[in-house]
Amino acid sequence: MSQQIIDSSLVEQAILDSAPERADRLHEILEHYRPQFAVVPDSLGFVLKTKGNLIKFNDKTMKTLWMLAHAAWRIFECHSPHVLLAIRRGRSITELMAIDRGIETALASFEELLYIVQGAAKAGSASELEWPDDLPSPSADRSTISVKQQATFDLAIMATAYVFLHEIQHVIFNKDRNAPAAGPALELACDAFARDFLLAEVRSYAEKAPRLPISLKRLTFAIFARLLLARPVWSKKVDLILMKRAMAVSLGSFFVYEITATAVRAGNQDYPPFADRFETLIGKVDAKENSDFWVFAATLLFAEVRRLNPRQSVRGKSYREICIAAIDAIRETTPEVVIANR
């Protein structure tokens, strides 16, 4: 099968479902820059790249994003109590894991998915991926899956919007011929564009929205049900909407990290160190210090810290501080690439 150009309205809808207030700006971009989207055959590695105005991806890459969304929620379930108690008790996450009697089962629930994702790079097609029995298909009827899985579905859609917005900025730079000269700066600029497209006008959208979207209510319910947070359920709409979108951005960055070759994660002449990308996408989110977004992001970051160095200690006086500490730990422990790659 050769590449197949798909209707851009499919990507457009995913973005509008994620940020409906940006409809006018999105239509301007699509009309002026005319990005095209093509599904290419599955192969070794992952495909999500842009050349000229053509954005290419394949089925295996998109199914990997779906699987990572579910892995991310399981990471959230596993480590959110550790993050919450780290603040309340002034202890590191590692110390709290040591006294968590149910930790092995919780770790196994997401490590299985991460193991499959790691092997996906070597799979020739999506059909070769081991699909766990308890993981719903991306095409599953949403009315038949649990509230938690529906919330994960919502995050996966918004993370998909994020990754395509990143690629759309590449299209914009290619047409305008004004991309940053350095490769790392280019990637950070595309990251920032995607982040801001989803987050910059949340406040104005929240003021006009008469009520919370059903999907946001579902996600909010799932979070409060899992964490049993002692916070009022009547939190401001703007905070809840920002929380959800920022969670999707952190999931998107987690996805890009996972499909990036280990040798490139420390950075090279074309890509910035991933710690810098996490800092751009997660560390600079304008959310309140006690937002549940920071709890979600902290769990994803800590899961990677633990994979790099199981003994690494991460602590902070707020959820945001824990995120920043985890990003710094990733920067310190990410294996350096060889000089030839720089």
The model's pLDDT over 43-57, given as tens digits with 9 standing for 90+, comes to 999 999 999 999 999
Close Cβ partners of 239 (under 8 Å, ≥ 6 residues apart)? 287, 288, 291
Does residue 272 form part of some domain?
Answer: yes
Four-residue CA torsion sign, 233, 235, 237, 240 = negative
Which position has the higher pLDDT, 270 or 140?
270
The closest alpha carbon to 154, from 297, 6, 14, 10, belongs to 14
Close Cβ partners of 2 (under 8 Å, ≥ 6 residues apart)? 40, 41
DSSP letter assigned to residue 336: P
The pLDDT value given to residue 184: 93
Does residue 22 form part of some domain?
Answer: no
Does residue 327 form part of some domain?
Answer: yes
DSSP letter assigned to residue 339: G
Does residue 243 form part of some domain?
Answer: yes
Q: Report helix, strand or coil for 140.
A: coil
Is the separation of the CB atoms in 58 and 37 below 8 Å? no
pLDDT exceeds 90 at position 227:
no
On average, the pLDDT of the chain sits at 87
CA distance 60 to 222: 28
Q: Report helix, strand or coil for 317.
A: coil
DSSP letter assigned to residue 325: H
Close Cβ partners of 140 (under 8 Å, ≥ 6 residues apart)? none
pLDDT per residue as tens digits for the range 194-218? 999 999 998 888 877 656 555 555 5
Query: What pTM value is reported for the model?
Result: 0.89
For residue 69, the enclosing domain spans 61-341
Does residue 208 form part of some domain?
Answer: yes
Q: Report helix, strand or coil for 144.
A: helix
The pLDDT value given to residue 336: 56
Does residue 190 form part of some domain?
Answer: yes
Does residue 40 form part of some domain?
Answer: no
The pLDDT value given to residue 239: 79
Does residue 87 form part of some domain?
Answer: yes
Which amino acid belongs to residue 151? Answer: A
Which residues are bridge partners to 50 per DSSP? 55
The pLDDT value given to residue 144: 87
Listing from the earlier edge strand, what are the strands of the sheet with 4-6? Answer: 4-6, 36-40, 54-58, 48-51
Tell me the CA end-to-end span of the chain in Å, nearest whole number. Answer: 35
| Total number of domains constituting the chain | 1
